[in-house]
Amino acid sequence: MAGGFLAWIAVRRFRHSGFPGLPLAAAGGVAFLSVAVIVTAFIVPRKLFPGPPTYTPGAPRPASTANLTILKPTNGEHVSGSQLEVVMQLTGGTIVQTTTTSIQPNTGHIHLLIDGRLISMTYGVLQSIDLSSLSPGKHTLTAQFVAADHGPFNPPVVANATFIKDG
């Protein structure tokens, strides 16, 4: 605001519509000062308060100490019906609902895949999955804890369970 106010003073003086007691040379100094104040307002806060680190595409993915486990379905469980209740346990990590490139090593989302095909990007450890279009037989459920930008951690935080859909 100060930069804008100083610019207003300089412009008024240069147009001879105000501040007649201010010499033109001083108005030039005020104009220069207004530019310096405006530029400083954008630069100084970023240097003093840089904020959290952000992920740069192409940079190595961060590691996470989180651990993800699928509690339900259990390996080899037979499932009938059109819905599969998935229950997971996440330790050492926090699920966040916002997507951001300012990623932290232990915050993110959970992606669910069946037979390698993404079916859900969840924000919780409880999920009901529609199985109505899934053929009967053995299938692999994969849960992956990913960073808040939806990219994987390195190494990936993954849990798998096989289940058998009954006809």
| Per-residue pLDDT tens digits for 8-21 | 998 998 898 988 88
The helix/strand/coil state of 136 is coil
Torsion sign over Cα 108, 92, 124, 78 = positive
Per-residue confidence band for 126, with pLDDT thresholds at 50, 70 and 90? very high
| Per-residue pLDDT tens digits for 33-77 | 999 888 888 777 766 666 555 555 667 888 998 999 999 999 999
Indicate the fold that domain 67-165 takes in CATH.
Immunoglobulin-like (2.60.40)
- pLDDT for 165: 95
- pLDDT for 143: 96
Strand duo 94-95 + 107-114: pairing: parallel
Number of Cβ within 10 Å of residue 27's Cβ equals 17
| Per-residue pLDDT tens digits for 21-36 | 889 899 899 889 999 8
- Sequence-distant contacts of 5-9: CB under 8 A, at least 24 apart: 5/34, 6/30, 6/31, 6/33, 6/34, 6/37, 7/31, 7/34, 7/35, 7/38, 9/34
Domain boundaries of the chain, sorted by first residue:
2-48, 67-165
Q: How far apart are CA 29 and CA 14, in angstroms?
A: 12
